[in-house]
Chain A
């Protein structure tokens, strides 16, 4: 299919007539500036092709130019299947349609029907047609302002046409309408049984749950049945044991054994009491024997103590005598050492006095030298202070200051300037006379003539007199200024006490010299008597201190050494004094040590005397006690009583031993153990009987309670239910597995079919895409929409691409559709791009142009653009709107 000519009249802004003729079969560029009507031209073509001439209402009126009640007309020449057609339509007013081609002519509705059959599009039920009605034509137009937010989805008619072509290429791989319905049906079926993740759900999950419930119920019932069986078995064992106990008379046996053991226990108790009695007697005898023994031992102890103390007393007396001798000896030695210490201290005093005297002489030498140095410094400092004071006084006597001198210089300069101005304004008078003359008044001669600043008189000798009056309005004022300047300058000179500026400058120089001298003397004073040392007062105070120290120091005698001999004498005196100190210290230590010896001897003597006295007291006390005891019972009586009690004790002990032996012969521990065991055995046997009875009763009760429940029948019933649940679950599992397999097989086959189905389109689209997106594969939907790109194993949704990329993909998709239609289907409607590729960068734009040109070799491509020059390089035929 190819558009050849279009002529538009009274269509919106194209009042026209506007005609574009001889459109080529390949690429054509229709240029025009903004608002010139490119898009309107396309609207006119679209209206001619797809709107019925009888269209009414707002859509029809929108074709008319604004405010003009005229009939829009469009005339198109185009070819379909090699046949040329001419279509003419008039809208709104006296609407008409006419189609001519192949030697036939159709008018009005017949023309509309023929046109629809020819181009294969749909009409809306009523009103204006929309894009989805335009079939392949609509698919291949890229309108101005398209936003490319969604992938290009071919409309149903276009899809059918494309599918027709694709089916021709690959056969009916998609299985007609039934295939998708089956896919949907099995996917829905699969959802009944499985989640997306392949986990059971719905009926399948419920079947599993039901089976688990049935199993749990059966297991619970079995558990109860098992417990009942265990109770029954337990009851049987309990009853058997009870029967055995009854048959064997276990309790009676135990009781007989207990009685026998208790009889032996009674005999044991009797013997135990006999042992206790005998042991009591033995204990009594032992006590009495111990008392007699104690009395006898007391007497012996007292006798021994008296004898012992008499011996101690004699020894103590000897000790006292020896200690007395030692103390006297120590006292004599101490007295001797005290005298030696006294002599050593006298010698030390003498040496100390000599050393102090010589050291005083040495100190006097040092202090005297220091005093001389300080006195000299004080004299210099005092002189520097006086010099500084004098210099400051001289400087203060000079009145000129730096500031006053500056003022005076200014006044001098002002006077000069006032004088100059006056002289400048003065009248210049030059005289050339041959007589003597005299000039008076306000005239000043300057060698070449006179400058007259007021009234002046020239007296020419012999000739006469000339009265001159200087003119000029400013002259009096300048004269006044000069006078005022002079007065001020003279007043300043008077104030400074000088006659001239030079004198003032000289006076200031001298003043500054005095000030510098005062500063120099201050610095000298500061160096000699630093402020931090107290200045002059500090020096004077130091001098006083040194004088006072000198007054306190010894004065040298005639035979005293001096100079270096004094130093040697000092050192010798020091060594002699140290020797005397050492001797004195040794004497003191010896005396101290002896003093301790004396003290120790005295202590020992005192201790010996104290000890002797204590022994003497004790001996007297014990002797008195012994005498008193013997008066009560003599020694022999006590010895006899002890012997009697010892005999009684031995007899009682033997009797107790015999009784114990008789008791031990019965093995009391064994008898007691036996009694305890026998009693415990009886208790235990009775307890066991009761316990078994209780347990049997409990088991019987429990068995009677569960008896009527028919647990075994319940288990059988629940087992049946479980098996039914198992079968149900297996059946559902089989169905679910089959549905899973069927759905999976269908989806896999459909996926493969789709790939085969889309292969022809990819044959055109993939090379185009790879010019712009190297390595990219389109992701095509069943509706032939490019849903995204697959690049490097990564899928990118169409909506994720940049707007430029989306636009380029949209255009390339149309080119591919058109290529497919042209090559496989015989012909394609023109691809029309209205101000497209506005988002492409230069490189992409160039590539797109190249691809447009390449595609245009297979079918017509109309590019409407406001920048036709951009397409110049393609060598395309260019047309202009307007």
Chain B
């Protein structure tokens, strides 16, 4: 009989969104918990036999008690079993977040905390989960090594659960510690090896996958925001792995050159094409080029409108300058030394002095306000 698993990892509960301030950041942070509810719902609807969480459930050992309670409360939405593995962020160290969760009495019965390298036998599903918890934040040795010699009762399907870097597979910067042998699934005769740590969904080999984080939390191209539905056929054949999108927020990194009025319009079109609902889109926008004061005003208006529509819009316009148009400067005819000052600021702005560009804007606005032009 086939076994159905929901493989997820790297929830990073309690982690903030550094670059995103205020209410937007709070909403994103809260979404991590909401996504756990989404996962529970998925597990329930897909009637999986177990949910395997491959480490970094919590972002840190020192999350608040309230955060711990909130997380375990969400797990009640699916009766389990849930197998939660300590990762490098929440390693099973002395007085760890897991110890605290147990002491708080927050862990429901259907939730297994895999803090020891010992088989967890799920009799009903005939599943033997072999966890390789990190008991230190950084383990120089491969903690999955014990899986090769793990003894499990007959009739149980062995599934590995680990958190770390598959050696020689990930980019160099991801391999600093916690190595995992790339052929561990084979050497340990595992039906499947569920991995965490890499935040994108990634297949390592036929029986080994990274699930990735279920809620996207950064501008990245590593394909995050999913969970894996894994079906282990009863005959010991290859697992069937199905990727399910679980993220609510989609993160976009855009770059837009702006020189003409049409460029501003084009930017509006790009923002409109990011997808619905717009309030679930998080955008990092880099602007460069030079606009006239009038076009800059249009741009400001456009951006103000989109700030209201998007979950979050971050704009980097340090490479964008304003230039006074002929019409702008013509308004200063007869303005005496004011025109001289404006012309000098315009020259400064064109020479790349950002303060001069802003100063020119201010001066022209003030001139109009004082009744000139």
* Among B14, B20, B95, B334, contact of A699 (Cβ-Cβ < 8 Å): B95
Q: Does B141 sit at the interface, judged by CB under 8 A?
A: no
B335 at the interface (CB under 8 A from A): yes
Q: Is there a chain A Cβ closer than 8 Å to B118's Cβ?
A: no
Q: B302 interface residue, CB < 8 Å from A? A: no
Once the chains bind, are B21 and A749 in contact (CB under 8 Å)?
A: no
Q: Which one of A313-321, A338-346, A557-565, A740-748 is at the B interface? A: A740-748
Q: Is the CB of A712 within 8 A of B60?
A: yes
Is the beta-carbon distance between A182 and B363 smaller than 8 angstroms? yes
Contact of A742 among B61, B93, B359 (CB under 8 A): B359
**0/1 string, B324-341, CB within 8 A of A gives 1:** 000000000011111111
* A552 within 8 A of partner (CB): no
CA distance A724 to B21 in the complex (A): 6
Whole-angstrom CA separation of A708 from B14 in the bound complex: 13
* B366 neighbours in A (Cβ, 8 Å): 182, 185-186
Assuming the A-B contacts A175-B337, A175-B339, A742-B359, are A232 and B345 also in contact, with contact meaning beta carbons closer than 8 angstroms in the complex? no
Chain B hits for A752, CB < 8 A: 337, 340
A236-B21 in contact given A178-B335, A228-B62, A742-B345 (Cβ < 8 Å): no
Q: Which residues of A contact B64 (CB under 8 A)?
A: 708-710, 713
Kindly state the separation between the CA atoms of A700 and B94 in the bound complex, as whole angstroms.
8
Name the interface residues of A193-231: CB closer than 8 Å to any CB of B. 225, 228-229
Which of B21, B65, B96, B136 is the one whose CB lies under 8 Å from A720?
Answer: B21
Q: Provide the residues of chain A in CB contact with B61, threshold 8 Å.
A: 228-229, 232, 712
Q: Does any Cβ of B come within 8 Å of A113's Cβ?
A: no
B22, B65, B66, B358 — most chain A CB neighbours (10 Å): B358
A176 contacts partner chain B, Cβ-Cβ < 8 Å: yes
Cβ–Cβ contact B95 & A704, under 8 A: yes
Interface 9-residue window, one of B122-130, B257-265, B275-283, B348-356: B348-356
For A687-713 the 0/1 string (1 means CB < 8 A from B) is: 000000000100110011011111111
**Across the interface, do A734 and B355 meet the contact criterion of CB distance under 8 Å?**
yes
Q: How large is the interface on B (under 10, 10 to 19, 20 to 34, 35 or more residues)?
A: 35 or more
Q: Given the interface contacts A716-B18, A748-B341, A749-B340, does A703 sit within 8 Å of B358 by beta carbon?
A: no
The CA of A708 and the CA of B97, in the complex, are separated in Å by 10
**Known A720-B17, A720-B25; contact A738-B337, beta-carbon cutoff 8 A:** no
User: Residue A504 at the B interface, CB < 8 A?
Assistant: no
Find the residue from A178, A703, A711, A735 having the highest chain B CB count within 10 A.
Answer: A178
**A225, B64: Cα distance in complex, Å:** 12
Q: How far is the CA of A254 from the CA of B17 in the complex (A)?
A: 55
Residues in chain A near residue B93, CB distance under 8 A: 232-233, 235-236
Q: Majority SS of interface residues in chain A?
A: helix
What residues of B have a CB within 8 angstroms of the CB of A372 in the complex? none
Cα distance, A709 to B336, chains bound together (Å) = 63
Q: Taking the complex as formed, is A455 at the interface, i.e. its CB lies under 8 A from any CB of chain B? A: no
- Taking a contact as CB atoms under 8 Å apart, the answer to whether B62 and A746 are in contact is no
A737 pairs with B16, CB closer than 8 A: no
Known: A235-B95, A713-B14, A720-B17. A174 touches B336 (CB 8 A): yes
Q: B13's closest neighbor in chain A, by CB? A: A713
Which residues of A721-735 are within 8 A (CB) of B? 721, 723-724, 727, 734-735
A754 → chain B closest CB, angstroms: 8
Min CB–CB distance B57 → chain A (angstroms): 14
- Could you say which of A179, A225, A706, A741 has the most chain B C-beta atoms within 10 Å of its C-beta? A741
Report which of B62, B96, B359 forms a contact with A225, defined as CB distance below 8 A.
B62
In this assembly, does A126 line the interface, its C-beta being within 8 Å of a C-beta of chain B? no
Asked if B370 is at the interface (CB within 8 A of a chain A CB), the reply is yes
Instruction: Say yes or no: is A457 at the interface (Cβ < 8 Å to chain B).
Output: no
What are the residues of chain B within 8 A of A742 when measuring CB–CB? 341, 345, 359-360, 362-363
Tell me, rounded to whole Å, the shortest Cβ–Cβ distance linking A195 to chain B. Answer: 18
**Within the assembled complex, what's the spacing in Å between the Cα atoms of A727 and B136?**
37
CB distance from A758 to the nearest CB of B (A): 13
Q: For residue B371, which residues in chain A have a CB less than 8 angstroms away from its CB?
A: 178
User: Quick one: given A712-B60, A719-B16, A720-B18, are A185 and B370 in contact (CB under 8 Å)?
Assistant: yes
Distance, CA A232 to CA B59, complexed state (A): 16
Cβ-defined contact, B94 with A711, below 8 A:
no
Whether A710 contacts B62 in the complex (CB less than 8 A), given A699-B95, A716-B16, A720-B16, comes out as yes
Is there a chain A Cβ closer than 8 Å to B67's Cβ? yes
B305 to chain A, nearest CB (A): 20
Contact A741-B337, Cβ < 8 Å, known A232-B93, A704-B95, A710-B62: no
Q: How far is the CA of A749 from the CA of B346 in the complex (A)?
A: 14
Residues of chain A lying within 8 A (CB to CB) of residue B95? 232, 235, 699-700, 703-704, 707
A176 close to B14 (CB less than 8 A): no
Map CB proximity to A onto B253-273 as digits: 1 under 8 Å, 0 otherwise: 000000000000000000000
Q: Give chain A nearest CB distance to B73 CB in angstroms.
A: 16
**Is B171 located at the chain interface by the 8 A CB criterion?**
no
The residues of B that contact A175 with a CB separation of less than 8 Å are 334-339
Residue of B nearest to A743 (CB): B359
Q: Across the two chains, which residue of chain A brings its CB closest to B59?
A: A712
When chains A and B are docked, how far (Å) is the Cα of A757 from the Cα of B58? 73
CA distance A716 to B13 in the complex (A): 12
**A415–chain B nearest beta-carbon distance, Å:** 126
For the complex, give the distance between the alpha carbons of A178 and B22 in Å.
Answer: 41
Interface centre among B94, B345, B367 (most CB of A within 10 A): B94
Interface status of A550 (Cβ within 8 A of chain B): no
The CA-CA distance from A176 to B356 in the complex, in Å, is: 24
B102 contacts partner chain A, Cβ-Cβ < 8 Å? no
A739 touches B66 (CB 8 A): no
Proximity bits, B64-106, A CB within 8 Å = 1, else 0: 1111000000000000000000000000011110001001000
Assembly CA distance A238 to B93 (angstroms):
12
User: Most chain-A Cβ atoms within 10 A of its Cβ — which of B22, B337, B371?
Assistant: B337
CA of A711 to CA of B59, assembled, Å? 11
| A738→B358 contact, CB < 8 A | yes
Q: Which residues of A contact B20 (CB under 8 A)?
A: 720
Q: Is A163 positioned at the interface, with any CB of B under 8 Å from its CB?
A: no
Q: Does B15 contact A (CB under 8 A)?
A: yes
Q: Say yes or no: is A717 at the interface (Cβ < 8 Å to chain B).
A: yes
A229: B residues at CB distance < 8 A? 61-62
* Complex contact B100–A740 (CB within 8 A): no
Cα separation A717 to B17 with both chains bound (whole Å):
8
Known: A737-B355, A745-B344. A753 touches B21 (CB 8 A): no
Q: Is the CB of A740 within 8 A of B67?
A: no
Docked complex Cα distance between A721 and B64 (Å): 19
Q: Is the CB of B16 within 8 A of A236?
A: no
Instruction: State A521–B325 Cα separation when bound (angstroms).
Output: 141
A181 interface hit (Cβ, 8 Å):
yes
Given A228-B62, A713-B64, A741-B348, do A182 and B362 touch, yes or no (CB 8 Å)? no
B237 near A: Cβ within 8 Å? no
Q: How far is the CB of A151 from chain B (nearest CB, A)?
A: 23
Most chain B CB atoms below 10 A, which of A174, A179, A734, A752: A179
* Min CB gap B287→A, angstroms: 15
Residues of A within 8 A of B17 (CB): 716, 720
Q: Which residue of A lies closest to B97 (CB)?
A: A707
User: Is A239 an interface residue when CB atoms closer than 8 A count as contact?
Assistant: yes
Residue of A nearest to B95 (CB): A703
Tell me, rounded to whole Å, the shortest Cβ–Cβ distance linking A709 to chain B: 7
- Which of chain B's residues have a CB closer than 8 A to the CB of A713? 14, 16, 60, 62-64, 67
Q: What is the CB-to-nearest-CB distance from A15 to chain B, in angstroms, rounded to a whole number?
A: 55
A-B contact pairs, 11 of them (CB 8 A): A175-B337, A178-B370, A182-B367, A185-B366, A228-B62, A236-B136, A713-B60, A720-B17, A720-B25, A739-B359, A749-B341
The 5 closest A-B pairs by CB, nearest first: A716-B16, A175-B336, A710-B64, A712-B60, A738-B358
| 7 further interface pairs, Cβ-Cβ under 8 Å (given A178-B372, A734-B354) | A172-B334, A175-B337, A182-B370, A229-B62, A232-B94, A719-B18, A723-B18
Give chain A's interface residues, CB within 8 Å of chain B.
172-176, 178-179, 181-182, 185-186, 225, 228-229, 232-233, 235-236, 238-239, 696, 699-700, 703-704, 706-713, 716-717, 719-721, 723-724, 727, 734-735, 737-742, 745-746, 748-750, 752-753
